[in-house]
Amino acid sequence: MYIKKGICLAGGIRVVSEEKKKNRVSVEINKRTYTIVGPESKEHVELVASLVDQKMRDIRSTNKHLDSTKLAVLTALNTMNEYIKLKEEHEELITLIEEEE
């Protein structure tokens, strides 16, 4: 039996793939186009891309001489910083709830 891309060729029976459907979404960030492939909806990918694009603009507005790579790395750093802080806050909240129970 030879299985490829979720289709069973030997018996002619279709094997339903358990993988989630993957969407392809094209977005523009800092004047370049990126094609994102994944299970997320088009709307979600567009929201995430617009937030990254806006953050890059904000950082560029105060650091006009940054090259594109540095700008993108600083954007990633900035986002990771916010993620870590939110994660700490979230875990503190969970700990508080557990203590009250």
The helix or strand, by DSSP H or E, that contains position 58, with its residue range, turns out to be: helix 42-62
> In the complex, what is the shortest distance from the CB of residue 12 to a second copy, in angstroms, rounded to a whole number?
33
Looking at beta carbons only, is 3 or 93 nearer to a second copy? 93
Q: Give 23 or 40: the residue with its C-beta nearer to a second copy.
A: 40
* Minimum distance from residue 39 beta carbon to a second copy (Å): 11
Say which amino acid occupies 61: S
3-4/7-8 β-pairing: antiparallel
CB burial of residue 45 (10 Å; 0-12, 13-18, 19+): buried
Residue 40 near residue 23 (C-beta atoms within 8 A): yes
In the complex, the residues that contact a second copy under the rule CB under 8 A are 29-30, 32, 34, 36, 40, 44, 47-49, 51-52, 55-56, 68-70, 72-77, 79-84, 86-87, 89-90, 93-94, 97
CB closer to a second copy, 18 vs 101: 101
Q: Which amino acid is at 18?
A: E
